[in-house]
Every structure is written in C-alpha cells, then in structure tokens.
Amino acid sequence: MRCLQALFSLEKMRPFSQRMIQLAQYQDGRLELQEVARPVAPPGGILVQTACSVISPGTEKMKVEQARMSLLQKAKARPDQVKKVLDTAKTLGWKAAMEKVKNRLESPSPLGYSAAGVVVAVDEMNTRFRVGDRVACGGAECAFHAEMIAVPDLLASRIPEGVEDWQAAYTTLASISMEAVRQSGARLGERVLVMGQGLVGLLATSLLRAAGARVMGVDFVSGRLQTALAMGAERVVNPGQSKLEEEVRDWTDGQGVDAVLLCVGGKGRDAADTAIAALRDRGVMVIVGIYDAELSWKTAYMKDIQVRYSRSYGPGRYDPQYEWGGQDYPIGHVRWTENRNFEACLHLMKSGALDLAPVTTRRVAFEDAVSVYNDLMQPGNADIGVVLEYGHKNLEQPAEAAESRTRPRAFVDQASNPANRVESLDVIGAGNFARTMLLPHVKGQVPLGMIVNGTGLSARHVKEKFGFAESETDAARVFAKENGALMIGTRHHLHAPLVLSGLKAHKHVFVEKPLCLTREELAQVDEAMGTTSGSVMVGFNRRFAPATQELKRLLDLVSGSKTLAYHVFAGPLAPDHWYANLEESGGRVLGEACHFFDYACYLLGTPVRVTAQTIGRPAFPDSMTSQIEFADGSSAQILYSAEGDFAFPKETFRVFGPGIIVECENFQSLTTYRHRKRSVQKFTSKGHAEEMAAWVGFLNQKTPHPLPYAQSRQSMLLSFAVLDSIRERRSVAL
C-alpha cells in the first residue's frame, strides 16, 4: 500500500478490494479463473484496473496446446527446457531434477500480454502518469488477463482521446507488427509479401498500407485472406490453391518483392525457401513469429538476402534496465523504442489509419475467458482477435478513478448547416444585456419573429424597438412553431428547460451562458442532441473577440505546451442581486466563471484535470482559484475574485509559450513579447458583435456552425468539475 498512501489520504479514497480475478493456466492444460490478491504498483510503475485485454490466438493458443501435451510431447516441443533439466540432474541429481519438473508442472502461470485500463495507483517514483489516466499496457510479465495489473513505466502509454479501450488493448500486438515493418525497411511504393495472415500478420498488412507500401497477403485460410483485403492488402494468395511463386512474378513484373514478413510459426525450411524465392535481389526477409528457420544457403547467398529477426515490440524488449528500471534510450540513438512504438500505434488508431474492426471477431466478458480458450482449441475455429471486457462488479476503486471512466461522448451537431434558410428568429427573455449586446447585432440580419418577455409592457417595448413581428408573455407559442431559430436570454435556471424545448421543436438555439445548472440537465441536452435536426450555441463571446483571434494567430506560430494565467476582478456581489439566489443563477462560478473556463479550453484544448479552492463559502463560492491541466501538457490558472479594488482592470491575462508572451487587458489591448521586441495592438470589441455575426452567418447558410455543441459541453463539464473540487477539496479528473 506504500504507493497508494503516497497519493491519497484516507479521506480522499475508498478502500480497494484486496482481491481480484485472474486467468490461470496449469501445465496439465487446465484453465481457471481464480481469486487472488491484487498486485501493487512496481517501483516507478503503476497499478491499472483493466478495462479490456486481447487474446492473441497464435501465441496463447500455442501455450495452451503445449500445456495439454504429454511429457514426451513437451520434451520434443521444448528441447531447451529438457537441457535445463539435464543440467539440473548433473549438478543436483535426478531426484532434485524431477522434483523441480513436478513443481513446475503443478504451478499455474498467467496468460495475456496486451491490455488497456485506468490507472488507480502510481508509485511515488513515477512522474508520467496520474490516477485516472487511461493507458495501454504490454508485457508477458505483467499485462495479464486479470482485473488488476501492475505495470512498469515504459510498458505503458497514455491513450489519446478518440481511442476506445477495446482498441487500445491491441497496442502491444500492433507494436509487434510495427517493429516488423520497421525492420523490413519498406518504403513508399515498395512491394511487401506478408506470409501468415494471423492477427500479427493482418496488423502488419494494415501498417504497411498506412506506410505507403503495397502488400500481398498469403495464408492457407481463405477467411483470413478476405480480412487481409479489408486491412489493406492489394492482393491475396492461398498457396494451396495457386502457385505463390507465379503470383509474385506476375504481381512484381518478374522482379520479386522488396521484403517478406514471415508471420508464421513452426520450423523447417519450406516457409523460408518460399520467402527467398519471392524476394528480389538484395531483398529483406524479416522473421516475426516463433519460426525456427533453416535457410537454403546458396539461394540466399546468391541473392545477397538480408535476414532480420524482429524482436517483439521493439528496442528495450527483454532489457530489464529499460523495462523495469525505467532507463529509456536517448531518442537520438534509438528512435523507435517499444514505448515509442506503443505511442505510434495509438496515434494510428486515433487517426483511423489502423482500423481494428476487421480483425476483432469477438468481444466477450472476462468471465467467459475459459470457454473462449476452449473454442480456440477446436478445429476450424475462425477467431482472429478476441477482446475480453472487464465489468469489475466485485471491485471498488478510488472515486477519482471511477469518475475518469465516465468520458464525454463525441458529439457532432445535427445540423452543420440549416436544411433551409431560417425564416425568423424568436427571442425569449430580452433584458438589458440582450437589448444592449445581442439584439442590435441581429437586427436587419435575420427576420425577427416573436419576442417573449416577462411582462406585456416590456415585450411590446422590445417589439417596437427592434422590429419584431409579435410580442408575447407565454413562451408556449414559440415552441408550437417547428424549425426556425431561437435566442434565450432568461435567468440561468430557465436555460436548460428552454433549450430542451427548442431542440424538441428542431430549432437552432442560441442560449446565453451557462447552458445548464446541473449534470442531469446536461445529460438531457445530450439526449436531445441525438434526435434533433436543430443545434445549440452557447454565448461564450470572448472566444470571438478580435483580440482573441489575433492571439490565436500568434499562438499558432509556435508549437508546444502553453500556460495561461487569467485574473478576473468581479467585484463584491450585492446581497439582493439575483446572482445571490443559487436556484436562479447557479452561483458565480457556474454562472459567470464558466466564461473563463471556456476561454482556457478554446486556447489550450482538452482539459483533463482541475484543482480548485475558494476563500469564500464553499456552498456559494464567489472567489476561487483553479489550476487546470490540459491533454497536451498545457496549463491554465483561473483566478476569479470578488475582492479587490475597482481601479484594477476587470479582466487581465497572460499566455506564455515557446518564444512568446502575450498580455491582454479587458480585450482592449494586446501586448506581444516576441523576438526580444514588444508590440501593442488596440481593440474595441469583447466579441458580442462577432459572435452574433458568426451565428447569423450560420442561420443564413453562409458559414458552418461557429461553436459546436461538443466544445460548449466540455466547458460546462469543466465548470462542474471546478465546483466538485472546491466542495470536496480534491483534484478532479475529467
């Protein structure tokens, strides 16, 4: 428990279950799911709660088959182990040697080496990972089929957003294929023969295609050849149905292939001879699987063939100082280590260049693992990749780790452009802010339909001032009309209900911040977004300000992580102000500071963790400081204070990046420090006019939606997380 105690106090975590379920294999062939003690994070490593793991039918089926062999068959299959027994007999005697064999046969061993999950504990010597991180893990010594796995630092890589757990669980297997592709040296346009279209061969086929090579897939199983075509093979061959040498000659115009990947098992010279015959002069043969090759010396010599063995996931494999000691190789000396291969595979999954759906024949519950292995042993079994999914019904976990597993869905607005030009804009709630900052910028740009205000007098006034067709005090009439556009400028507690009604009527909705006041309301909007042909835009105006657009242009000139320090002097809140009514406003953090959380997201990307505190009342914080971590390593500090002096500007911020610092005051001046020079630019707008112009452009079918729902949703989730951090006095993962 040492590493857990270093990370959490008892009041910040619920106790783990000390037991877990793991798949065990015995040397007599038995497979069992057993309850065992859970592991602890190794020095410098992490403890991971498994979400998914992948069965490799080739390697793991071979292990099960060997376990079910008789002693004589085992001896023939593993002469290296027989030699060890003989050596023991020479030094300790036959009795000790046989006792050693007996103990080995009685001992269970783990299965599995490619998994993905969530970090639930981090050793105090590890600085790369945090509790709640989603990670892909590898290693036959640690990434077992088990509910918990203890993994060293360099055998794990953080999973990027957009990659699901079941996909990330393939990372280790994909890295084996990636290392083989690297060993082949295949370049753009070269032809590569992949012999063996099992899981590793199929993944290699896809990776070669992604690298711009042309692939011929070879296998005796016709079903696998169809999968090879789906994974990017240009041509496939079944040697049992046609002559491979003739197929290669035809495909390469008689020249031979540039490289062969031998993704097969067994021993002998047949596969190697076939590969050498298919190669061009000075071609490359890469042995990927557990294949004991015997080469035809003269043929290989005359062709000047290069024979290379691909060692598992890449450089670092089987080096204890690298894998368990955490001693990485300098990138200038070893460009692609096994961990860097992990990261490259995950990136290809995220980009879509590595599609794992064709090779995934089954996704089953971990509880059914034994029956899956029994199926694999049956003649004619067609499984390629089998994903085990873990439900964790009997496990407890830290609240923070549990939260991190509930990830935002990837939302796309239902209407990238309105199907028809919007005929009219209706408005519900036109107080002083809407009349001053919003409506002047839409007047004359889009037909104004109905204005709904709290009293008939105020509704009539707004109707006449801006030229609305009708005035009303009952919003029901607005929702009786489908389609069109709707602007919501009411007090905060009405935002979500009105947005939901608007989406139900398939309207394009603009709502002043915040979008909603609770996670439950946000979930309802999520659901509505899945069925509407309308859209939602939240009034986060600062991202549209001219100063912001110039700042974005400047930051795009430099790469790397950045730091934002945003200071807001909001001033004290009058006790009778409606913001002081939590039921109406949601409070200042949710009702106003959400602006600045959104701004940080706009500049820096996806937030992953926040720590916040307040000097006011935790139940009603009106002064707070939050520290936000972003996915690319950037950070933001948002200081929102009711305390101060009105001689100080309301909003100031600084952005620090590689070779640049930019200061902004009230979005009126932007001071840039770059190339040892200082420059100042002046602006007049805080973004309201530009925000309205962008939305009207969308309504008039001239421009895409200016603020996709997924981005507004992300900002609201960050706002909720800030409040959680304040109330619970802990760091919160998003």
Of the two residues 40 and 352, the one the predictor is more confident about is 352
pLDDT classification of 357: cutoffs 50, 70, 90? very high
CA 119 vs. chain centroid, Å, equals 14
Query: Is there a contact between 425 and 448 (Cβ–Cβ < 8 Å)?
Result: yes
Cα separations in angstroms, 147 against 29, 63, 368: 22, 21, 14
pLDDT classification of 84: cutoffs 50, 70, 90? low
Tokens of 262: 């031998």
Is the peptide bond preceding residue 514 cis, with omega within 30 degrees of 0? yes
pLDDT digits (tens, 9 = 90+) for 132-183: 899 999 999 999 999 999 999 999 999 999 999 999 999 999 999 999 999 9
146 bridge partner residues: 22
The Cβ of residue 86 has, within 10 Å, a number of other Cβ atoms equal to 12
pLDDT digits (tens, 9 = 90+) for 577-593: 888 888 888 888 899 99
**C-alpha–C-alpha distance, residues 135 and 655, integer Å:** 30
Mean pLDDT of 358-386: 91
CB proximity list for 521: less than 8 A, separation 6 or greater: 496
pLDDT classification of 729: cutoffs 50, 70, 90? confident
Q: In residues, how long is the chain?
A: 734
Statement: residue 413 has pLDDT above 90: no
- Angle at which helices 519-529 and 709-728 cross, to 10°: 160
Statement: residue 415 has pLDDT above 60: no
pLDDT classification of 126: cutoffs 50, 70, 90? confident
- Residue range(s) of every CATH 3.30.360.10 domain in the chain: 543-691+707-733
CB proximity list for 590: less than 8 A, separation 6 or greater: 492, 514, 517, 719, 720, 723
- Residue range(s) of every CATH 3.90.180.10 domain in the chain: 2-67+110-170+320-404
8-12, 20-24, 189-193, 559-563: least confident range: 8-12
Share of the chain above pLDDT 70, in %: 86
Query: Is there a contact between 38 and 1 (Cβ–Cβ < 8 Å)?
Result: no
pLDDT score of 622 = 82
235 bridge partner residues: 216
Please give the CATH number for the structural domain made up of 2-67+110-170+320-404.
3.90.180.10
Cα separations in angstroms, 284 against 251, 254, 279, 724: 18, 17, 7, 58
Statement: residue 5 has pLDDT above 50: no
pLDDT digits (tens, 9 = 90+) for 524-564: 999 999 999 999 999 999 999 999 999 999 999 998 999 99
Tokens of 49: 């709660």
Mean pLDDT of 614-636: 84
Statement: residue 199 has pLDDT above 60: yes
Report the chain's mean pLDDT, rounded to a whole number.
Answer: 88
**Three-state SS at 37:** strand
pLDDT digits (tens, 9 = 90+) for 246-292: 999 999 999 999 999 999 988 888 899 999 999 999 999 999 978 88
Tokens of 703: 């421009």
pLDDT classification of 360: cutoffs 50, 70, 90? very high
- Residue range(s) of every CATH 3.40.50.720 domain in the chain: 180-309, 425-538
Superfamily for 180-309? NAD(P)-binding Rossmann-like Domain (3.40.50.720)
54-58, 150-154, 322-326, 686-690: least confident range: 54-58
Tell which residue, 329, 288, 268, 333, has the closest CA to residue 184.
Answer: 288
Query: Is there a contact between 7 and 122 (Cβ–Cβ < 8 Å)?
Result: yes
Query: What backbone torsions phi and psi does residue 363 show, to the nearest 5 degrees?
Result: -125, 115
CATH 1.10.10.10 fits 543-691+707-733, yes or no: no
pLDDT digits (tens, 9 = 90+) for 64-75: 555 555 555 545
Tell which residue, 622, 600, 692, 733, has the closest CA to residue 122.
Answer: 733
Tokens of 295: 């080469």
Query: Is there a contact between 58 and 183 (Cβ–Cβ < 8 Å)?
Result: no
Query: Is there a contact between 607 and 714 (Cβ–Cβ < 8 Å)?
Result: yes
Tokens of 202: 């199929």
Mean pLDDT of 340-347: 98
Angle at 541 between CA 537 and CA 547, to 5 degrees: 140
pLDDT score of 265 = 83
**C-alpha–C-alpha distance, residues 662 and 546, integer Å:** 14
Write the DSSP assignment of 555-619 as a string of letters.
Answer: HTTS-S--EEEEEEE--PPPTTSGGG-HHHH--HIIIIIHHHHHHHHHHH--EEEEEEEESSBTT
pLDDT classification of 101: cutoffs 50, 70, 90? low
For domain 425-538, give the fold: Rossmann fold (3.40.50)
39-48, 150-159, 614-623: least confident range: 614-623
**C-alpha–C-alpha distance, residues 278 and 285, integer Å:** 10
pLDDT score of 649 = 93
**Three-state SS at 331:** coil
Statement: residue 242 has pLDDT above 90: yes
Hey, what long-range contacts does 719-723 have (CB within 8 A, 24 or more apart)? 719/514, 719/589, 719/590, 719/593, 719/594, 719/597, 720/519, 720/522, 720/590, 721/607, 721/610, 722/589, 722/593, 722/597, 722/610, 722/612, 722/624, 722/626, 723/587, 723/589, 723/590, 723/612, 723/621
pLDDT score of 25 = 86
